[in-house]
Amino acid sequence: MYVIGTAGHVDHGKSTLVEALTGIDPDRLREEKERGMTIDLGFAWLQLPSGNEISIVDVPGHERFVNNMLAGVGGIDLALLVVAADESVMPQTREHLAILDLLQVQRGLVAITKRDLVDDDWLELVTADVEDTLQGTALEDAAIYPVSAMTGEGLPQLIAAIDTMLDDTPPKRDVGRPRLPIDRAFTISGFGTVVTGTLIDGKIRTGEEVDLVVARKSTRIRGLQTHKKGQKEALPGTRVAANIIGVSQDDITRGEVLTTEGWLRPTDAIDVRLRVIPDAPHPLRHNMHITVHTGSSEVIGRLRLLEKDILEPGETSWAQIKLETPLAVVKGDYYVIRSNRATLGGGNIVETHARRHRRKHAPTIERLAVMELGSVQDILLKTIEISEPCGFDELVNRANMGADSVRAELETMAADSLIVALGREGIGRGSFIFSTAGWDAVSEKARQSLEAYYRQFPLRRGAPKEELRSRLNMSAQVFNLAFSRLQRQSVVEEDGALVRLPAYEPTLSAAQSEQVIAYLRLLNSDPFSPPTDAPLDREVLNLLDEQGKIVRVSETVAFSATAYKDMVDIISEYIRDNGEISVANVRDVLGTSRKYALALMDHLDHKRITRRVGDARVLR
């Protein structure tokens, strides 16, 4: 299945030619039929002698409806430029040709219509005029066919030429992420909302759950049609009508994109390669307002020139477009910009969800150039570097490549030490990708973060894991994968609930060591009833507890390690002899006060050495 789009000046016979070729009148609006002028997109289809079936998108030629023309030519395989023999090349002929050039429609042919209205000499002049006009455009070598929709002259030759050209036209690519830019939405009684467009980048199926990306609505495909024939599945490059459920026609505008769930997010800023057409009526200025056309969309935006302040007709530059209304686009999509009903330029999108850049910044320009023309590995690496770590699915979508191709490239890049992939099942869904430099920066930041933590708390063995996660600014999912790799690389060690640097051991100062000796002597002077007003800093107490030199049984009560072991032995023996022990019993057998006995028994309960039964304790 292929799609052909017409182009050309108003009243040059595009719709009449389409009807003569297909038997279908593409003008569907009453106003179009009354005025004899195409206003909006029209559609027809034809089976060629080879058996190939084609869709034809007929576009309006009047300058007031170029926006409608742009909504129809985005997904075409072949352009049919129409020039009337009695008028030759006209303003919209040139504008439509410039648009085809900007959208990189490089396959096409020319039909000189109304052949029956001119003689051979005039036809020869018109043909020469068309050939001159095509020079320097994507259709420079296009074949020219004089035809008459009235007499049928030349139509068989035109059909045969179309058939031959499509024989070696590559099929639309299928990267498994279908997009249907919607150019029409209407309601059919008994069925509900129907949307139409040219499907690109993947297949859609009846019964499939899909998203309307810009409207942020989910729906399901009830039925599919191509050329009024029901289909279970629609292939890339097909004109499709999709009957969807649960969404009103009023919720859908031209420019909406229907796709499978979850992967495509609208953006309000895009980085682009911009070429100003030679016939642009004026230079382009930094920060000027423009209208952006891509797919079937038309939105207002502000143009930010990244290399200069003014761009003259015929010049090319990098630019960023800030959009007033979000667009659902992917890397590699083509676009056109217009202003005051004049086409100014266009090109291709190299980065969706673009960040604001410094203008006239050489590294930014270099990165954008790589994103446009670099190797697959270069493009993937630059995409990763923009937002590290980059999730595998996000990388596939932002680079606009097939998942299998991206996985194969990443595996090669990992083997060549260009990237670091974090994932429990290798590279693929659920994995996260760093550039090697990006991962080295993470490792260094982890080390520096722990060093900073030790400077703040020099007597602690390590930091809570959550503290390190916060300092690395990672989601829990990414942090868990990153932490495992940091451990394997011996950057950090896990120490219970803490994370520490492998070589770090807390060390007391000379003054603190003297204080500790005095404190331990004080504890042992009355081991079962030690003083509770400890003359030590809390951090020193915590360290002694961690080192096993003391046991803190409450906020205020601490025993020396030796005294604690003796008390546990005494209590355990008492319970074995008597079956249980009360707080009063503990007080009496240890010769201490109720304060110490209660704090000790609560601690033993917490440590699961004893268990409370009523007012007594038993051994666990």
**Residue recorded with tokens 């520096």:** 448
What percent of the chain clears pLDDT 90, i.e. is strictly above it? 65
Q: Residue 114's pLDDT is what?
A: 94
Q: Residue 327's pLDDT is what?
A: 94
Give the chain's count of helices (H) and strands (E): 18, 34
Residue 384, CA distances (Å) to 38, 219, 434, 494 in order: 46, 32, 7, 29
- Tens of pLDDT, residue by residue over 189-236, are 888 899 988 899 999 999 999 999 999 999 999 999 998 889 999 999
C-alpha atoms less than 13 angstroms from C-alpha of 170 in its C-beta half-sphere: 4
Banded pLDDT at 500 (limits 50, 70, 90): very high
**Residue recorded with tokens 């190939």:** 52
* Alpha carbon distance 195, 254 (integer Å): 10
Residue 20, CA distances (Å) to 147, 150, 420 in order: 10, 8, 60
Q: Residue 363's pLDDT is what?
A: 92
* Alpha carbon distance 507, 199 (integer Å): 68
More reliable by pLDDT, 332 or 31: 332
Residue 317, pLDDT > 90, answer yes
What SS3 state is found at 141?
coil
* Alpha carbon distance 291, 271 (integer Å): 15
Average pLDDT, the chain: 90
Q: Residue 69's pLDDT is what?
A: 57
Residue 170, pLDDT > 90, answer no
Containing 313, the helix (H) or strand (E) segment is none
Q: Residue 39's pLDDT is what?
A: 44
Banded pLDDT at 67 (limits 50, 70, 90): low
C-alpha atoms less than 13 angstroms from C-alpha of 184 in its C-beta half-sphere: 20
Residue 53, pLDDT > 50, answer yes
Q: Residue 38's pLDDT is what?
A: 47
Torsion sign over Cα 115, 120, 123, 127: positive
Q: Does residue 257 contact residue 198 with C-beta atoms inside 8 Å?
A: no
pTM: 0.79
- Tens of pLDDT, residue by residue over 395-417, are 999 998 889 999 999 999 999 99
Residue type, 90: M
* Alpha carbon distance 329, 397 (integer Å): 10
Instruction: Give the domains, in start order, of the chain with CATH numbers.
Output: 2-167 (3.40.50.300), 179-260 (2.40.30.10), 267-364 (2.40.30.10), 527-619 (1.10.10.10)
More reliable by pLDDT, 385 or 12: 385
Residue 37, pLDDT > 50, answer no
* 225 DSSP 8-state letter: E
* Alpha carbon distance 149, 19 (integer Å): 8
Q: Work out whether strand 550-552 and strand 558-560 pair parallel, antiparallel, or are unpaired.
A: antiparallel
**Residue 150 tokens, joined:** 């009235």
Residue type, 520: L
Residue 42, pLDDT > 80, answer no
Q: Rounded to the nearest 10 degrees, what angle do helices 510-525 and 561-578 cross at?
A: 30
- 305 contacts: CB under 8 Å, gap ≥ 6: 274, 284, 285, 286, 311, 317, 319, 359
Mean pLDDT of 327-343: 91
Residue 505, pLDDT > 90, answer no
Q: Residue 184's pLDDT is what?
A: 87
Q: Residue 262's pLDDT is what?
A: 86
Residue 302, pLDDT > 80, answer yes
**Residue among 172, 81, 179 nearest 127 (CA):** 81
Banded pLDDT at 578 (limits 50, 70, 90): very high
**Residue among 15, 32, 3, 33 nearest 113 (CA):** 15
Q: Rounded to the nearest 10 degrees, what angle do helices 561-578 and 583-590 cross at?
A: 120
Q: Does residue 6 contact residue 14 with C-beta atoms inside 8 Å?
A: yes
Banded pLDDT at 33 (limits 50, 70, 90): very low
Q: Residue 227's pLDDT is what?
A: 87
* Alpha carbon distance 512, 529 (integer Å): 24
Q: Work out whether strand 144-146 and strand 108-113 pair parallel, antiparallel, or are unpaired.
A: parallel
- 412 contacts: CB under 8 Å, gap ≥ 6: 377
What percent of the chain clears pLDDT 70, i.e. is strictly above it? 95
Q: Residue 14's pLDDT is what?
A: 84
Banded pLDDT at 76 (limits 50, 70, 90): confident
Residue 155, CA distances (Å) to 18, 77, 167, 419 in order: 10, 20, 19, 57
Residue 557, CA distances (Å) to 106, 483, 596, 617 in order: 85, 36, 7, 20
* Alpha carbon distance 317, 321 (integer Å): 12
* Alpha carbon distance 386, 417 (integer Å): 19
Q: Does residue 256 contact residue 248 with C-beta atoms inside 8 Å?
A: no
* Alpha carbon distance 148, 281 (integer Å): 34
Give the torsion through C-alpha atoms of 6, 12, 15, 20, to 10 deg.
-100
Give the bridge partners for 81, in sequence order.
7, 110
Q: Residue 555's pLDDT is what?
A: 87
Give the bridge partners for 179, in sequence order.
200, 259
Q: Residue 34's pLDDT is what?
A: 45
Banded pLDDT at 26 (limits 50, 70, 90): low
Residue 609, pLDDT > 60, answer yes
- Tens of pLDDT, residue by residue over 268-292, are 999 999 999 999 999 999 999 999 9
* Alpha carbon distance 453, 466 (integer Å): 13
Q: Residue 64's pLDDT is what?
A: 54
